[in-house]
Structure 1
Amino acid sequence: MGSVIAPQKSSAQAYQIDCAILLCLSGGWPDSVPCARARGEFIRRITPWPVEPPLQIWRCPMGAAYQPSGNTNSTARIYDVLLDDAGSLPQSFLASPKEPMPAVLRTTDPRDGQPPNGLALRLIQDRADIDISGPEFNFVRSIRVFDVRYARQHESGRDGDCNRNATVVLGTYGTQGDFSWVRSGLNALPEAHVGLERWGQNCPSIYLRSVFVDWRDYEGNYGFEQVDY
C-alpha cells in the first residue's frame, strides 16, 4: 500500500472542517463538496500513524452560535448551531481560512471587552463547548474507532500448534464528546470488518493491521470505513 503525504492544516482549517464533519455526519454525509471534504478528513484521521479522533468536536465552537431555548426541537438544535441563515453550510467552510476561533463560552461584554460580573472566559478542551448530552447528539456518541494494532495467526513450525496473538483498542466518545481509548478484543469487531473471517478456523496464516470506524447518523443509519495498513 503506497504512502500518502497529507498537507499540513492550520488551526483555522481544523476549526472549519470539524464543524463540517459534525453537520455532515449527522445528515448521513450528503452529496456535496463541503461534506466530501469533511468525510475525507474524517477518514484521514484514522489512517495510521497516529490514529486520531475522527471528529474533534472541541474544535467547533458551537457555544458562539447557539442560544438554548425551551421550545427548540432536537433536529432544529443541530442546524441552529451550525447552519447559516440561508439554511446551508456557512461560507466559512468553503472560503479560505480565517483567523481561528477559540472554543470558549462567550461571556465577554462586547461593550468593553471585559467579562461581565467578574466572570472569566472558560476554555473548553477535549469536549463540546455546549451541552450535547441530549438524544439529538447520539450520533456523536455512536462513533467507534477499532484500532487492530496487531492480529496474527500462524502454525508453529516446530510443534504444529496454532499461535494467535492480537492487540485491539477501542476509541469511543463520552457524553460531552470527549474521546478516550480502552483495551478491546477481536470478538468486539463489528460484522462489517473484513480480513479476520478465518480467525480460529483450523490455522490458516493471517496477519492484519487495520483501523475500523463506524457510526450511525441522526436517523440511525449505519455507516463504516476500514483502513488496512
Structure 2
Amino acid sequence: MRSFLRHFTFATIVSTASLFGASTKASAQTYPIDCAILLCLSGGWPASEPCSRARAEFIRRITPWPVEPPLQIWRCPMGASFEPVDDPGRTPRVFDILFSNASHLPQSLAESDPENAGALLPAVLRSKGVDPLPQPDGFALHLIQNRADIDISGPEFNFVRSIRVYDVRYAQQVESRDSDCSRYEHIRLGTYGTQGDFSWSRSSVAALPEAHVGLERWGDHCPSIYHRSVFVDWRDYEGNYGFEQVNY
C-alpha cells in the first residue's frame, strides 16, 4: 500500500512537473484540476499551491447551488492516449501515474503520422526512473464519461470510494400549538461506485456523521430547528479522516 502511494505520488509529480512548476502563473493553472484533487486527496491534502487550489475546487463543488460531485475522476485522464505530435497549445495529459508493465495498453497512432499509421504504441506515457507497478487482475480501459478511464476497483483506490456528500436540503423541527412535535427532512447522500461513478440516494438526519454540526438537538424535546447544509467527508490513502461542512 505504502509503495503504491509512493509510486503514485512520484510518477504523477514527474509527469506533471511542468504543470505544477512555478515557471508562469498561467501554466500552473493548465493541469486537469481533478488529477490534482485525486492526488492531493490521497495524500491528505499536503501543503502546496496546487493542493490548495485543488481543495478549494473540491469544496466549491459542494457549495450550493448546485451541489456537484467534489471529485470528478472521469475528468482526469489516467489512461491518457499517446500523441506522437507535441501540441504546445493543448492541455498536457497525465501520464503513467498508476499501472505499467511490459504488457502495454495498445493504441493506434493518429493519422497525422502516416509513416507509423496503424502501429500500436503504449496508450500511456511513462515517467523515467519510476519502477513499474503490476496491473491488477481485470485491468481494463474504460471509455465511459462518468467514471475513471482505468480500473480503480482495487483497495488502493478505497480513498475515492470513501468520499460521502450529505446534501441537507432542509431539516426542520417545530412544536405545534397542541405540543405535537413535527419534523421534516430532505437529505440526499452522494457516494462513489467501484469505478468512481457518482450517484445520489435518499438519506436521513440519523445517518449524518458525528462530525456534522447543527442538528445535535434533533429529537430532543422538540426545540425549534431549521437547518440547511452540505457536508462532505473522506478518508485519505492512509485512512485518516477529514471533512468539510458548508451551511446555507
Q: Distance in 2 between matches of 1:148 and 1:203?
A: 19
Which of 56, 74, 99 pairs up with 2:90?
A: 99
Q: Which amino acid aligns with 1:150?
A: Y
Specify the structure having the higher radius of gyration (Cα): 2
Q: What is the aligned partner in structure 1 of residue 157 from structure 2?
A: 137
Identical aligned residues as a percent: 74
1:225–1:109 distance in 2 versus 1, CA, 3 Å: same
Which of 131, 147, 155 pairs up with 2:175?
A: 155
Q: Which amino acid aligns with 1:220?
A: G
| Equivalent position SS for 1:107 | strand
8 Å contact kept, 1:64–1:106: no
Which of 43, 52, 60 pairs up with 1:36?
A: 52
Q: Distance in 2 between matches of 1:210 and 1:156?
A: 25
- Return the offset for 1:198: 0.4
- Return the offset for 1:14: 8.6
8 Å contact kept, 2:81–2:107: no
Which of 79, 86, 89 pairs up with 1:63?
A: 79
Q: What is the aligned partner in structure 2 of residue 80 from structure 1?
A: none
1:209–1:189 distance in 2 versus 1, CA, 3 Å: same
Q: Distance in 2 between matches of 1:136 and 1:165?
A: 39
Q: Which runs of structure 1 show a deviation greater than 4 angstroms over 4 or more consecutive aligned residues?
A: 100-103, 113-117
Runs of 5+ unmatched residues, structure 1: 1-12, 67-96
Q: What is the aligned partner in structure 2 of residue 174 from structure 1?
A: 193
Q: What is the aligned partner in structure 2 of residue 128 from structure 1?
A: 148
Q: Which amino acid aligns with 1:149?
A: R
- Return the offset for 1:64: 1.6
Q: What is the aligned partner in structure 2 of residue 198 from structure 1?
A: 217
Q: Distance in 1 between matches of 2:30 and 2:229?
A: 25
Q: Which amino acid aligns with 2:162?
A: S
- Return the offset for 1:99: 2.9
How high is the TM-score relative to the length of structure 2?
0.67
Q: What is the aligned partner in structure 2 of residue 52 from structure 1?
A: 68
8 Å contact kept, 1:15–1:59: no
| Equivalent position SS for 1:64 | coil
Q: Distance in 2 between matches of 1:202 and 1:169?
A: 25
1:33–1:199 distance in 2 versus 1, CA, 3 Å: same
1:98–1:207 distance in 2 versus 1, CA, 3 Å: farther
| Equivalent position SS for 1:153 | strand
Paired positions, count = 183
Q: What is the aligned partner in structure 1 of residue 109 from structure 2?
A: 109
- Return the offset for 1:108: 2.5
- Return the offset for 1:116: 5.9
Q: Distance in 2 between matches of 1:126 and 1:115?
A: 29
Q: Distance in 2 between matches of 1:132 and 1:122?
A: 10
1:70-100 residue CA offsets vs partner (Å, 9 max, x unmatched): xxxxxxxxxxxxxxxxxxxxxxxxxxx9635
| Equivalent position SS for 2:157 | helix
C-alpha RMSD of the superposition: 2.8
Q: Which amino acid aligns with 1:18?
A: D
Q: Distance in 2 between matches of 1:137 and 1:194?
A: 28
Q: Distance in 1 between matches of 2:31 and 2:106?
A: 16
Q: Distance in 2 between matches of 1:126 and 1:102?
A: 18
| Equivalent position SS for 1:139 | helix
